[in-house]
Amino acid sequence: LSLVAFLVGKRVSVKNVKDILQRKWGQVGSFSLQVAGDGVFLVKFDNGQARDWVLDNGPWDIWGYQLALRKWSKGMSLSLEDCKSISVWVKLSKVPVQYWTTLGLSYIASVLGRPLYMDSSTVNRYALSYARVCVDMLASSSFPKSILLELDDGATTNIEVEYPWKPLACTLCKVFDHSNKNCPKAVRREWLPKPVVSAHRRPEDSDGWITVNRMGPQAPLGVVMSEVAEESSIAGRHAVVNTEHGDCLAPKQAP
């Protein structure tokens, strides 16, 4: 009957967390809240219905900071470093009209992570200026600002991605506890004078010059990411989730 709550991006006292969650969850049942670690809380409910309601009606936040919920199990790690994914609401702008379907938006959102929900305005197509969807994103994600979408006729279009709230994430440690900038594993860059490089003719061939060619892997075709973070070692390697196996967006009231 318990949940583990990971509060990402903000340190809040247990009293404030309990007061806020009591206003949000108190209507469905009683619960107790205990500190399990730095930014981690153990929530015990009086009944399974209340626990399941909380899980089904998320994601939840504390003062705008996301609360990642997991069902508690024996032997489960209660460290914020082991929270590897979190639900994030994003805005997708400039989506082609033909992709304004559950399957189409799920296909686009799957580049970011696992598609979860879309808000009522998106479901009912009240405005086609942007779609608002919720995606379960990994800490290793580079949180791209755009998605390059290849259309059926071979043309491409840019889908703009906006994050009303984005958690601190470290792509090196793959955790939400800190950013790359503050990562203890990050290599510190030091300024060094630029060396002077000169080209010399080969003695055996006065017409030949020494050249250096840099060969890099080509970007994959189809749905790919652009404008990813430089520090991400997996930039551009994003597979589209198979939406035929349950990874489709479901209607949900956005916060």
Shared-domain flag, residues 113 and 137: yes
Shared-domain flag, residues 170 and 238: yes
> Mean of the pLDDT values across residues 166-175?
72
Whether 191 maps to a domain, the answer reads no
pLDDT tens-digit map of 75-93: 888 887 777 888 888 999 9
Shared-domain flag, residues 35 and 154: no
Shared-domain flag, residues 94 and 129: yes
Shared-domain flag, residues 54 and 153: no
Helix then strand then coil, % of the chain, to nearest 5: 15, 30, 55
Shared-domain flag, residues 10 and 37: yes
Q: How confident is the model at residue 164 (pLDDT cuts 50, 70, 90)?
A: confident
pLDDT tens-digit map of 108-127: 999 999 999 898 899 999 88
Whether 206 maps to a domain, the answer reads no
Half-sphere exposure of 210 (CA within 13 A, CB side): 8
Last residue of a domain, one of 58, 82, 106: 82
Whether 166 maps to a domain, the answer reads yes
Q: Is pLDDT of 215 > 70? A: no
> Mean of the pLDDT values across residues 184-193?
61
> Mean of the pLDDT values across residues 195-221?
40
pLDDT tens-digit map of 8-58: 877 888 999 999 999 999 889 899 999 988 889 999 999 999 999 998 887
Half-sphere exposure of 26 (CA within 13 A, CB side): 7
Shared-domain flag, residues 74 and 102: no
Tokens linked to 61: 């936040």
Shared-domain flag, residues 227 and 147: yes
Last residue of a domain, one of 59, 82, 105: 82
Domain count of the fold of the chain: 2
pLDDT of the residue at 252:
62
Q: What is the pTM of this model?
A: 0.62
Shared-domain flag, residues 122 and 236: yes
Shared-domain flag, residues 145 and 129: yes
For residue 70, the cross-strand partners are 4
Cβ atoms of 113 and 137 within 8 Å: the answer is yes
Last residue of a domain, one of 82, 112, 137: 82
pLDDT of the residue at 193:
65
Cβ atoms of 66 and 73 within 8 Å: the answer is no
- 119-131 burial code (b ≥16 CB/10 A, e <16): beebbeeeeeebb
Q: Is pLDDT of 145 > 90? A: yes
Cβ atoms of 80 and 210 within 8 Å: the answer is no
Assign residue 57 the CATH number of its domain: 3.30.70.330
Shared-domain flag, residues 168 and 128: yes
Shared-domain flag, residues 44 and 105: no
pLDDT of the residue at 140:
83
pLDDT tens-digit map of 61-71: 888 888 888 88
Residue 116's domain comprises 85-176+220-251
Whether 190 maps to a domain, the answer reads no
Q: Which DSSP category does 97 fall into?
A: G
Q: Is pLDDT of 211 > 80? A: no
For residue 88, the cross-strand partners are 135
Whether 211 maps to a domain, the answer reads no
Tokens linked to 75: 């032997």
Over the chain, what is the mean pLDDT?
A: 75
